[in-house]
Amino acid sequence: LAASFGNQSLAGLRVLVSAGPTYEDIDPVRFIGNRSSGRMGFAVAEAAAQAGAEVTLVAGPVSLATPAGVMRRVDVRSAAQMHAAVIGAAVHADIYIGAAAVGDYRPLEVSAVKLKKRDGDDLTLRLGENPDILASLAAQTEHPFLVGFAAETHDVADYAQGKLRRKGLDMIAANQVGGGLGFEAADNALTLYWADGAAELARAAKPELARQLIAHVAARYRATRG
């Protein structure tokens, strides 16, 4: 029962979650991607639904079934498609949790035909910067409560707190990548930061961590937005 969550309930709230990688096409058979499995984001979507929220999930290219209780799923491929899907759905969202590993750059030219190997020659790809989904939302006068993720290989706390401030987020979930944690791993460990606080979520399976994250998001949402 949603009511049993107390101030950790998301009953009556609409939660938008992005998850997975993005693929930036080079030609009809090649792309630039990343190692995100989507499992953390899908676990967050499921935990939000368990907490009573109406959940919309925007998913990059992953091979995962839609979690129980998720109302709507929008599948996208590129960062530009994810940007458009999230900006559109955010109008109807109270909370946006950006768990997706959004590609920062895309090939400026996408070949309509397969690029052919030219023996002995190097190949140079020109990449252009993709729009930042979280920053675009933060720039809107009315926007959902914003939660970001920061997966870092080093200086985790500094980079995460920098992103919290620079992107204008309400909360960020930081994790160290590597050592059997993070991308492509079953376990994760997170440190949550908000403007005037932090919480350490010890190493656990992603579904368990997702439930703890959602409890903190609900508490911070209630504290700042009623």
Show binding-site residues for CTP. Answer: 104, 114, 131-134, 149, 163, 167
The nearest distance, CB 79 to ligand CTP, in angstroms, is 6
CB of residue 130 vs ligand CTP: minimum separation in angstroms?
Answer: 5
Considering the complex, state which of residue 52 and residue 206 has its C-beta at the smaller distance from ligand CTP: 206
The one of ligand CTP, Ca ion, none whose footprint includes residue 21, by CB under 5 to 8 A per kind, is none
Annotated active-site residue 34? The verdict is yes
Neighbours of 114 (CB within 10 A): 11
Query: Which of ligand CTP, Ca ion, none sits in contact with 85, Cβ below 5 to 8 A by type?
Result: none
Q: What CA–CA distance (Å, rounded) separates 93 from 101?
A: 20
Cβ neighbours around 184 below 10 Å, total: 11
* Choice between 132 and 208, CB closer to ligand CTP: 132
Residue 23's binding partner out of ligand CTP, Ca ion, none, with CB under 5 to 8 Å set by partner kind:
none
Residue 104 touching Ca ion (CB under 5 A): yes
Task: State the minimum distance, in angstroms, from the CB of residue 208 to ligand CTP.
Answer: 20
- Minimum CB–partner distance for residue 219 and ligand CTP (Å): 20
Residues binding Ca ion: what is the number (CB under 5 A)?
1
Question: Among residues 133 and 217, whose Cβ is nearest to ligand CTP?
Answer: 133
- Residue 76 interacting partner from Ca ion, ligand CTP, none (CB closer than 5 to 8 Å by kind): none
Query: Which residues bind to Ca ion, rule: CB under 5 A?
Result: 104
